[in-house]
A and B are shown apart, each in its own frame.
Chain A
Amino acid sequence: MTLTLILAIPLAAALALAFVPRNYRVVMRAVALLATFMSAVLAIKMFLQFNAALPGPSGFKFENQAAWVEALGIGYHVGVDGINVGLVLMGAIVAFAAACVSWEIREREKEFYILLLVMAGGVLGAFASLDLFLFYFFHELALVPTFLMIGLWGRGPQKNYATFQITLYLSLGALIALVGLIALYVQAGAGTFDIPKLTEHLRQNPLSISAQGFIFPLLLFGFGILVSLWPFHTWAPLGYGSAPSATAMLHAGVLKKFGLYGLIRIALPMMPDAAQRWMPVVAWLCLGNLVYCGWVAMRQKDFNWVVSYSSVAHMGFVFLGLATLNLIGVTGAVLVMVAHGFLAALAFGLNGYLYQQTGTLEINQLGGLLRKMPFIGGALMMAAFAGCGLPGFANFAGEVTVFFGAWTAYRTVTIFACWGALIIGAVYMLRAIRAMLQGPLPQKWSHVADAVNPWRRFPFVLLLACLIAFGFFPRLLTDKITPGVAEVLRPYSAISTAESRPTMRAALAPVLSKPNAQ
């Protein structure tokens, strides 16, 4: 029941808020905070209880099942393995942090908190579901509030355009993925949408090469649009630039990972032949994210756009990790997904605070802010370091693991990717930080105030703590992720899996020891 509660509490709270009178603002905020807090606590409890070593009957734990539309083989089925237990944890914590920073919303709070809670329940549900239909259903449940929130509480002059662009673009991606999922269901012929059953069925009776050949690209590009795979990333900067902070935190941090999770959970294990054919293409496309989008980020004048482009760039690591199709690479990809979730939420949350204080995020308008706001400035600096891949933050652990995996598979791509990640990432992040936080403080910003109230600081401290905790102890995650990934990668030649199990430990040794040594 734990898992069902984690996703049901926010949804139930959203329903309850619908009956709260409009002027009870404190109540609404309290309900939203309490609901997300409870689901975060339950997620932490589940994460700590999760033991990858204990073999379950289906490989999944905390499972719940119920009939839904039996005629079509659709059921309510949720459960976690090593891959999504971390994602659910990350999603629940980010949702709580997003509810915390929402004090900046001052109008139509009722609708805002309802949408926020629906979005939180939707993302958690999407990561928990083990049924293709449910998986898509929850994702859309989270996506629609995103559009409405950008349209209603968004900022900036291009808000309306941004709303339409992100709505049409992401819906197109989601629909392409939906066609892929339906085609998968039809072609598998198992008469069920249940993911574990389908995976098992397809392991016994693999899809024909031609069927895989048209379903896999549908999923790859459908999900790719949702994850802003280059060249389908153009919705992201404007969308995030116009979104209210809580929405950007939840979307960039959590919801965007849905596509990646879909590829890992569905596309890789069910269509191994097509995956092997398409992954080299993905490896080169991910350079578009890492190098090109990083380059574009350097030229941005608005800090929100820098962060948005950097969040697009970071998706490149995940795609590179997936493209390796080996245990180390995919494990690293999942690690980056979790780490980037915290990081993106932190960065967009801090941006929201800055914007709330100054009314602009134009880099050349700002300067010297560290003196006026030591806490926010310091947190922003740490987020920037994490974004550049500094050891000690969870991102470093994930990125290095991806590179270890990628080195065996795509050497040229890895060289470019390292360059893009280490040099370009550092250049745009540090340059923006220098211009905004250091130097003389313009007269007009003399009124800005730091976050002094501990409650205002709390969400940022929480996210930073997670980044650092998983940065120093990535084994908290990798020990859970590795068996899950090994299960997913089982169709890819039994030999490589058997061999890489010991190699995994060896390869991870520097990752595990290095931060501790510092």
Chain B
Amino acid sequence: MNLALLLHEWLVIALGLGLLLADLWLPVSARRRLGYVAAAGLGLILVYSAIFVRIGPGEVQYACGHMYALDGLALFFKRFFLLATIIVLLMSVAFVEFIEASVGEYYSLVLFALTGMLFASSANNFALLFVSLELITVTFYVLTSFQRSRLTSLEAGVKYLIIGALSTGFTVFGIALVSGISGKFDFTELAAVAGQYVGNRIFLFGLLLVLVGLGFKIAAFPFQIWAPDVYQGAPVPTTAFLAVGSKAAGFVLLLRVLFLAVPAVTLQWSKLLIIISAITILYGNLCAIPQRNVKRLLGYSSIAHAGYLLLGVAALSSAGQSAILYYLSGYLFTVLGAFTVICLIMQHVEGEDISALSGLSQRSPLLAATMTLAMVSLAGIPPLAGFFGKFLLLQAAIAQGSTYHGYYWLVAIAIIGVVISLYYYFGVVRAVFWSKDVADFSPIHISRPIRASLYACLFGMVFLGVYPAPVVNLATEAVKALK
């Protein structure tokens, strides 16, 4: 038992509990500020982690038996989650006016969800996988329905609960089958024997059910049904956190299961992964075309992005895996930037229709610039982060094309998806810049912390697009843990 390794988790849990206690004693008016405290605390943890926690390439340290693994991949994702949560917390502070219930709880729930994600990035055992998955999902049930008097928020919570519980059931059943057949819970031990079960149908079926649970988290076809409704109904910071944190947690677990626990089986599943990736890309992009609600639109677009990310998984190469990490890093800044803008506009305009964005370029150039760059980056156009991410993913897939021609078809579908997505992303840009019927021109007040997080998102999008080398190196180092 080497509990010092769990430092990130301990600190975040302590911070979350501290916030809960502070919430009891502080006067109501001061509680809102707790969000800044939480963000600052996470910032300190992130700085500490960046300076003092070191893991050599390919090196692994275990804690709690073999259950918890701290390797390059885990560390990359832990920092990723910390950064995402800081921006989400700043966004929440701007959003709390819309939450009647006690605000402190919201912040600490976000931190507990973060704890789940931190554990997920280190999961080396089906038990820890399940527990961290549940910790994330259960907190999100509450976070989704936090606006108790808003019907859509409750509806979103219920939908998320029902489909989430169903997929959890599948996951547990799958884990039972896999470990029942092989007798192993531990990923490292399972990898050693997985080769024997390549032909075992019950084993494969169990594994497929585990993938169902993870597919639900990342909103991949055919487990994507919940995403648009929940994205639309949930409070904006929750939606943002779902889009970035929850999806990334799904991907780190997917990478760990596929490439650390059952590499022998994964090699045979390239076709399945290609098909799921292709359908997810097409489904997300096609369904996004007619959407008028911005949050719903981003919900569908997040399905499409899950498809692009799965393309990296399907490539079954370390180039594909590092492309996923890079893409997610760009996605973090892009999506959080977009949701921060939506969060601020929602305070001033009723409804989430795209037309609410009209005249934004006159009302606040900073918000207009962030929204435009976020859409352009999501569409994958240089010189922004989204382009380089797609470039890496496509390159990984094309490199595999000589082994199996299906990859070329997948690339073709990804290209079609990108062209379709240009249409609806440009629809948003158009609303920001050239819409005729602008209702009000009142400037939008942006508080200083939010301004800082917007600048951070802008900087991240441009930096990752223009100077990708440092993050590419980080991602390449991180995926060395996967083989």
Contact = CB atoms under 8 A, between A and B. Distances in A.
Contacts of A491: none
Interface stretch (A64-72, A318-326, A496-504): A64-72
Given A137-B382, A140-B381, A183-B401, A171 B472 contact: no
Interface string B411-440: 110010011001100100110011000000
Contact of B422 (A67, A68, A69, A167): A167
B426 A70 contact: no
Contacts of B418: 171, 175
Chain B contact-residue range equals: 20 to 34
A175 B418 CA distance: 9
B411 A179 contact: yes
A144 interface: yes
A185 interface: yes
A140 to B, nearest CB: 4
A183 B412 CA distance: 12
A69 B468 contact: yes
Chain A contact-residue range equals: 20 to 34
B376 interface: yes
A164 B423 contact: yes
Interface string B263-282: 00000000000000000000
A141 B398 contact: no
A67 B470 CA distance: 12
Contacts of B401: 183, 186
B193 to A, nearest CB: 35
A172 interface: yes
A69 B419 contact: no
A182 B394 contact: yes
Contact of B430 (A144, A160, A171): A160
B141 interface: no
Nearest to A173: B419
**Which of B429, B467, B476 is most buried by chain A, counting CB atoms within 10 A of its CB?**
B429
B391 interface: yes
Nearest to B395: A182
Main secondary structure of the interface of A (DSSP, over half): helix
Contacts of B61: none
A509 B468 CA distance: 51
A175 B415 contact: yes
B476 A71 contact: yes
A171 B422 contact: yes
A222 to B, nearest CB: 10
Contacts, number: 74
Given A175-B418, A179-B411, A182-B391, A144 B381 contact: yes
B411 A141 contact: no
A183 B422 CA distance: 23
A124 to B, nearest CB: 15
B418 to A, nearest CB: 6
B394 A178 contact: yes
Interface string B381-409: 11100010001001100110110000010
B422 A168 contact: yes
A464 B179 CA distance: 79
A161 B394 CA distance: 30
Contact of B433 (A151, A164, A167, A187): A151
Interface in B432-483: 433-434, 467-469, 472-473, 476
A147 interface: yes
A70 B415 CA distance: 26
Contact of B395 (A160, A168, A185, A214): A185
Contacts of A187: 402
A71 B434 contact: no
Given A140-B381, A141-B383, A144-B381, A179 B433 contact: no
Contacts of B408: 214
Nearest to B369: A18
A144 B433 CA distance: 15
Contacts of B411: 179
A176 interface: yes
B419 A186 contact: no
A148 B394 CA distance: 26
B415 A71 contact: no
B438 to A, nearest CB: 14
A476 B394 CA distance: 42
Given A164-B426, A186-B399, A172 B419 contact: yes
A172 B415 contact: yes
Contact of A140 (B382, B402, B429, B472): B382
A183 B398 contact: yes
Interface string B356-399: 00000000000000000000100001110001000100110011
**Which of B382, B401, B469 is most buried by chain A, counting CB atoms within 10 A of its CB?**
B382
Interface string A142-180: 001001100110000000100110011001100110110
Contact of B469 (A69, A137, A168, A185): A69
Contacts of A176: 415
22 contacts: A67-B469, A68-B467, A69-B469, A71-B469, A71-B476, A72-B472, A140-B383, A141-B383, A148-B429, A151-B434, A168-B422, A171-B419, A172-B415, A172-B419, A175-B415, A175-B418, A176-B415, A179-B398, A179-B411, A183-B401, A185-B395, A214-B408
Interface of B: 376, 381-383, 387, 391, 394-395, 398-399, 401-402, 408, 411-412, 415, 418-419, 422-423, 426, 429-430, 433-434, 467-469, 472-473, 476
Please give me the 9 A-B residue pairs with the lowest Cβ-Cβ distance, nearest first: A140-B382, A69-B469, A175-B415, A186-B399, A137-B382, A172-B419, A182-B395, A182-B398, A183-B398
Given A71-B469, A144-B381, 18 more contacts: A68-B467, A68-B469, A69-B469, A140-B381, A140-B387, A144-B376, A147-B426, A152-B434, A163-B430, A164-B426, A167-B426, A168-B423, A175-B415, A175-B418, A179-B394, A186-B395, A186-B398, A186-B401
